[in-house]
Amino acid sequence: METRAESTSQSSEQPARTSVLRVSFANPNGTTIIDNKYHTAPIKIAKAFPLDGQLGVIVMDVSPGLLDGDRYELEWTSGPDSHALITNQSYMKVHPSMPYGGSSMRQTFCLEENAIVEHMPEAMMLYKNAAFHNDAQVRLKSGSVWMQADVLCPGRTLRGEKFDYRCFRNELAVHYGDELIFSQRQRIEPAKQVITAPGCWEDMTHSATFFLFSDRVSRIHLEQLQAKLDSFEAPAGHSVIAGVSMTYRHGLSVMAASTAAWPLQQLMRELWSTARAGLLGKPPLRFLQG
């Protein structure tokens, strides 16, 4: 039995169905374009939208979400001076998996000099019995900017699902040149952990993170994001707790928690707008909100 379990566990690291999306951005004449792209079903670029010098792209998933055994591999390459916004159509749904099974996604972001990538996906939803490994690798060069906002839902709470998923592994590594400047690993196994313990989720259910990495980041931007957190008004019935800190080098990190996804989504939009104004000198971008 031990041999079979080990074999099955190892096979879950090599899912049967791998979908690939590779996109490169370029800025040949002051306007960002898609220089090259490749995809395999069920993920693809739905459409690209010119947005005043930058380019917005929406990732489409024609499947119902990540099923047991699915693996998504997304590679984003941004040429010098390019500026891209990346988002998706709707919540990323992670469906139940068999014991020792699961699904995974790996994203790589390679930014050349002065390239900007704003990665603003919709929230992630972990269904009951889901097991998911999310891995992101970022490589920066001089003057480049990478920012990302994530919201994590503990399940379909209106259906009574709350921390009923099996396992969630989340990893992020950021390199500046050849130097590793940030590394984070998170592993949540609700059945094995005391989710409501002090210092864990306590009364909260949903979590969110906002990351900003660039050699342009300074303490001024920390103060701007802190001011936004201080002035944010949580909606009635949904308290929000959040904090921001400088990372080891060239970065800022915000962590937040609440009892629903939409207050955190609103907070992430406001932090994003603050970062755009403070670091890029650009107004808020209402791409999907109109």
DSSP 15: -
CA 88 from centroid of its chain's CA atoms:
11
Instruction: Tell whether the model's pLDDT for residue 5 goes beyond 80.
Output: no
pLDDT-based confidence at residue 289 (cuts at 50, 70, 90): low
Cα maximum dimension of the chain: 62
Instruction: Tell whether the model's pLDDT for residue 199 goes beyond 90.
Output: no
Instruction: Tell whether the model's pLDDT for residue 87 goes beyond 50.
Output: yes
Q: Which residue has the tokens 């104004």?
A: 277
Provide the pLDDT for residue 7.
34
Interval 130-136 mean pLDDT: 98
Spatial separation of the C-alpha atoms in residues 7 and 85, rounded to whole Å: 40
pTM of the model: 0.92
DSSP 128: T
Provide the pLDDT for residue 286.
79
Chain segment 146-162, per-residue pLDDT in tens:
999 999 999 998 888 99
Beta strands in the chain (DSSP E): 17-26, 33-39, 43-51, 54-61, 70-78, 83-88, 92-94, 103-111, 116-119, 124-126, 131-140, 145-153, 167-176, 179-188, 206-214, 241-246, 251-258
Yes or no: say if 274 and 225 are a contact pair by the CB < 8 Å rule. Answer: yes
Q: Percent helix, strand, coil in the chain (nearest 5)? A: 15, 45, 40
Instruction: Tell whether the model's pLDDT for residue 290 goes beyond 60.
Output: no
Partnered with residue 185 across adjacent β-strands are: 171
Q: What percent of the chain has pLDDT over 90?
A: 86
Instruction: Tell whether the model's pLDDT for residue 209 goes beyond 60.
Output: yes
